[in-house]
Amino acid sequence: MRKIYIFDTTLRDGEQSPGVNLNTKEKLEIAYQLEKLGVDRIEAGFPAASPGDLAAVNAVARAVKNATVIGLSRSREQDIDAAREALKDAQDPCLHLFLATSPIHRKHKLRMEKEQVLETAERAIRYAKQYFSKIEFSPEDAGRTELDFLCQVTDMAIRAGATVVNIPDTVGYMTPAEFGNIFKTLKEQVPGIEKIQLSAHCHDDLGLATANALAAILNGADQIEGTINGIGERAGNTAIEEVAMALATRGDLFGATTTLNLKEIAKTSRLVSKLTGMVVPGNKAIVGANAFAHESGIHQDGMLKEKTTYEIISPETIGLRDSKLVLGKHSGRAAFREKLIDLGYELDDEAVNAAFAKFKDLADKKKNVMDEDIRAMLEEKLTDTPEVYSLETIHVSYGNKSVPSATIRVRMAEGEVKEQSAEGNGSVDAIYNAIDALTAEAVELEDYSIKSVSHGKDALGEVHVVLKQDEVSAQGRGLSTDILEASARAYIDALNRLVEKRKSPGRRDKMSLI
């Protein structure tokens, strides 16, 4: 089996998802988990974007020992110097240089002729080569670049010293046959192509990112770039777990494999979802909540007779344990501890005690506490962001013929408890108006979503919100058996994250790639 290298860009392209902004601690937590997953390369960020980004890449570079750490850079000396600084402590550093090559980008964005593009990229690669032995070059918008020019660019990059040439379908415009043909042509026509690795970087605007990446593999790509859960700019990037599982399941077709530890997929997916606040859709391939659920009678009957009738991947392969032990209010600490181990949580005694207290609270409100409830409960807080505001009590009055109102008590950072009542168009609006009046934070609610964590009328409700304040966005998550309380908790969580961001303004909120 040919090895396909996995280049994870969750911390860079993934972080370009709307509303996502990871701090250094969160980036480190994800980087450690990516190491456990066994990715070969981790793109940690874009150091020239801001001093905060540089510091975050530097922290990841110092922490990661078992993967190449990569910093993104435009084809400019000052960007390369910022990446040098950020990657100086990495065990195995790599610079990722890019410059757009398509006619649209050359004309409207760069205002450069083909010759200038070639010269600019070559100068940057040669400058970087003095400091980096590993350099990846990406002709941005390669998918819409003339194929003969792309061959010329690749030839230049190899001669200038690039060790990987990455082919980005920046706008997700390609179809598998077209994208595969680019790799085939480069392999056939560019001299010295065997000296470097060819990489594929796809976006999902037409829902084809994974299909295009697999077409690239069939036509000789050595590396696939992507993100966990397929998060990223606009419709996102290739989902790494999809490529890994396609290769693992259809080795007969691809003759290629990754060296990922597949059992870490579910855990990595949950961590990325938790820290980015990007909820994984239920029907998402591999990691969606319904990916292994069989609803129809015919399917259930087939599954009972022989699992492979309707199951091509077993949930255990990606680290989902099929635990039969359902906990309830009579379950003791020992059963709870056993469940935690079963679900893959390694907690010290103090953390087990805190989790057990929360579990008891939940079991008082909910008859059967399912695995999903326990996971959600343990992962409720997006981070350990300091609680400037914390919810004390909430009272809501609603009638379909009266104006909804809410009274909220919030504990402020100094310990003082404040109370405020407000009305609104609906109960959630009333709650949010009361919190706004209490905290005097001028925020805009950019997104609100709610889902049920498990089944039944007493299921836990999980609310996600994205709040925006002065061009800075933050997401928040709230969990409760009552959806109004979950709504209040999510809003306050997001407010706390906004306050934290105000205190550390070193990081840009959105990256501008020009």
Nearer to Zn ion, 162 or 438 (CB): 162
The CA-atom distances, in angstroms, between 371 and each of 65, 325, 461 are 33, 9, 14
Nearest 10 degrees: Cα torsion 293, 260, 162, 211: -20
What minimum distance in Å lies between the beta carbon of 225 and ligand KIV?
7
The reply on whether position 140 binds Zn ion by CB under 5 A is: no
What minimum distance in Å lies between the beta carbon of 237 and ligand KIV?
8
Choose from ligand KIV, Zn ion, none: what does 71 bind? Cβ within 5-8 Å by kind: none
For residue 237, say whether it is annotated as part of any ligand binding site. Answer: yes
Nearer to Zn ion, 98 or 359 (CB): 98
19, 47, 168, 476: which one contacts ligand KIV (CB under 6 A)? 168
What minimum distance in Å lies between the beta carbon of 145 and ligand KIV?
11
284-288, long-range: CB < 8 A, 24+ apart: 284/229, 284/230, 284/239, 285/210, 285/239, 285/241, 285/242, 285/245, 286/239, 286/241, 286/242, 286/245, 286/313, 286/318, 287/229, 287/239, 287/241, 287/318
What minimum distance in Å lies between the beta carbon of 168 and Zn ion?
6
Q: Which residues contact 93 (CB under 8 A, 6 or more apart)?
A: 61, 68, 69, 70, 71, 87, 132, 134
8, 53, 140, 493: which one contacts ligand KIV (CB under 6 A)? 140
What minimum distance in Å lies between the beta carbon of 512 and Zn ion?
14
Query: How many CA atoms are closer than 13 Å to the CA of 183, on its beta-carbon side?
Result: 29
Q: Which residues contact 469 (CB under 8 A, 6 or more apart)?
A: 441, 442, 443, 444, 498
If binding means CB under 5 A, how many residues of this protein chain bind Zn ion? 1
CA distance 473 to 454: 29
How far is Cα of residue 181 from the mean position of the Cα atoms in its chain?
29
CA distance 294 to 301: 10
Q: Are the C-beta atoms of residues 256 and 3 closer than 8 Å to each other?
A: yes
The reply on whether position 242 binds Zn ion by CB under 5 A is: no
Choose from ligand KIV, Zn ion, none: what does 98 bind? Cβ within 5-8 Å by kind: ligand KIV
> In the structure encoding, which two tokens stand for residue 270, read together?
């949950």
138, 223, 433, 439: which one contacts ligand KIV (CB under 6 A)? 138
98, 254, 336, 432: which one contacts ligand KIV (CB under 6 A)? 98
CB atoms within 10 A of CB 175: 15
Choose from Zn ion, ligand KIV, none: what does 140 bind? Cβ within 5-8 Å by kind: ligand KIV
Q: Are the C-beta atoms of residues 238 and 224 closer than 8 Å to each other?
A: yes
The reply on whether position 13 binds ligand KIV by CB under 6 A is: yes
Nearer to ligand KIV, 106 or 201 (CB): 201
How many helices and strands (H and E) does the chain possess?
Answer: 17, 16
Choose from ligand KIV, Zn ion, none: what does 375 bind? Cβ within 5-8 Å by kind: none
SS3 state of residue 479: strand
The reply on whether position 170 binds ligand KIV by CB under 6 A is: yes
What minimum distance in Å lies between the beta carbon of 347 and Zn ion?
36
The CA-atom distances, in angstroms, between 150 and each of 115, 147, 165, 464 are 13, 5, 11, 43
For residue 203, say whether it is annotated as part of any ligand binding site. Answer: yes
What minimum distance in Å lies between the beta carbon of 179 and ligand KIV?
13
For residue 212, say whether it is annotated as part of any ligand binding site. Answer: no
Site string for Zn ion, 8-47 (x = CB under 5 A): -----x----------------------------------
If binding means CB under 6 A, how many residues of this protein chain bind ligand KIV? 8
Q: Candidates 7-15, 19-27, 93-101, 289-297 — which segment interacts with Zn ion by CB under 5 A?
A: 7-15
Q: Are strands 461-469 and 472-480 parallel, antiparallel or unpaired?
A: antiparallel
The reply on whether position 201 binds ligand KIV by CB under 6 A is: yes
CA distance 46 to 32: 19
Site string for ligand KIV, 231-270 (x = CB under 6 A): ----------------------------------------
What minimum distance in Å lies between the beta carbon of 212 and Zn ion?
13
Nearer to ligand KIV, 170 or 405 (CB): 170
Query: What DSSP character marks residue 460?
Result: P
Residue numbers belonging to the annotated binding site for Mn(2+): 13, 201, 203, 237
Interface residue list for ligand KIV (CB under 6 A): 13, 98, 138, 140, 168, 170, 201, 203
Interface residue list for Zn ion (CB under 5 A): 13
